[in-house]
Structures are given as C-alpha cells and as structure tokens.
Amino acid sequence: MDDVFKKIRLVSMEARNYSYCPYSGYSVGAALLCESGRIVVGSNIENASYSATVCAERTAFFKAVSEGEKKFTAIAISGGPKDMESDGYAYPCGICRQVMREFCDEENFKIFVVKSEDEYEEYLLKDLLPKSFGPNNLQNTSKK
Ligand code: ZN
C-alpha cells in the first residue's frame, strides 16, 4: 500500500498542471484512490463568478462518484503558486472535508497533504473533521 500512497502523492503534484486558476494564481491538484484501485485526479477550477469555483478535491470526488466509484481509500493534495513548486501545505477546505465525510470512513480514510515528493503530512479524516455530521446522523429519520 505504501507504493500506491507514494504514487498518489506524485500524481497530485502532476494534477496541479491542469488547474484553471486565473484569479488566485494558486494551483491545486488532487489524486483520489478508490477502493477499486483506480486513481481519479482533480484540479481546482476557478470562475469569474468566484462562488462557482470548485476545489481540486471535490473535482476528483465528483468525477469518481459520477463514474460509479463510491468507496475510497485515500486522497493526496498538493497546492502552491501556479507553475511553481509548492511552498507549503494545501490543507483541504471545510467544504471538501464534508464531501469526504459523505463517502469515506472517518477512521480509515487517509489524507496526504503534499509539499514535495519527500515532504508530506498524513492524517485520517477524523483528525481533520472531528465531531462531524454525516450520513449516519440521518439513518433513523423518516423519509416521507
Ligand atoms: Zn475545498
């Protein structure tokens, strides 16, 4: 598994090349590892109407789910000034953490925040989104 984790960290760095970030100049790449073994990439896609912007992580999740993937093992995220090496760690925003919560096991889903090939931080979803609201909260509600 360590080999595939290393691979998604590298792929997340490459995915930054596909970022569309003319407004912030901050490119982000994500590589999402599905339980099937498939790796789905995403990049941030900005918009002149700023609120229509979507993050790299959600791009990857929505691509994967729309193509039939529903179970995930890990995600790697890299970010920094466009066309430059990362200058720090691009942690997932709150909205992306909540999207992860919808599909991922809090205790097992790994999040790698990548600065370079050898510099990265590793978290579990429960570390980055403690005391969260998720699908289990709605299990016992009546659906009318
Ligand atoms: Zn986000």
User: Mean pLDDT for the chain?
Assistant: 96
In the chain, pLDDT over 90 holds for what percent of residues? 95
* CATH architecture for residues 2-126: 3-Layer(aba) Sandwich (3.40)
Q: Could you tell me the distance, in angstroms and rounded to a whole number, from the CA of residue 34 to the centre of ligand 1?
A: 19
**Amino acid making up residue 41:** V
DSSP string, 19-61: -B-TTT-EEEEEEEEETTS-EEEEE-B--SSGGG-B-HHHHHH
Q: What percent of the chain has pLDDT over 70?
A: 98
pLDDT confidence band for 144 (50 / 70 / 90)? low
In the reported structure, the alpha carbon of residue 144 is separated from the centroid of ligand 1 by a whole-number distance in angstroms of 32
Q: Is residue 142 over pLDDT 80? A: no
Q: What is the pLDDT of residue 18?
A: 98
| Whole-angstrom distance, CA of residue 115 vs CA of residue 110 | 16
* Position with higher pLDDT, 15 vs 142: 15
Return phi, psi of residue 84, to 5°.
-130, 160
Distance CA 109, CA 6 (A): 15
Instruction: Give the pLDDT band of residue 101 (cuts 50, 70, 90).
Output: very high
The tokens for 50 are 């700023």
Look up the pTM and report it.
Answer: 0.95
Distance 142 CA to ligand 1 centre (A): 31
Q: Catalytic: 57?
A: yes
pLDDT at 52: 98
Beta strands 72-81 and 110-114 are parallel
Q: How far is the CA of 64 from the centre of ligand 1 (A)?
A: 16
Ligand 1 ion: residues within 5 Å (CB): 55, 93, 96
Q: Residue 98 CA to chain centroid, in angstroms? A: 11
pLDDT in tens, 10-59: 999 999 999 999 999 999 999 999 999 999 999 999 999 999 999 999 99
Catalytic residue among 14, 35, 46, 57: 57
> Given this model, what pLDDT does residue 140 score?
84
Alpha carbon of 19 to ligand 1 centroid (Å): 13
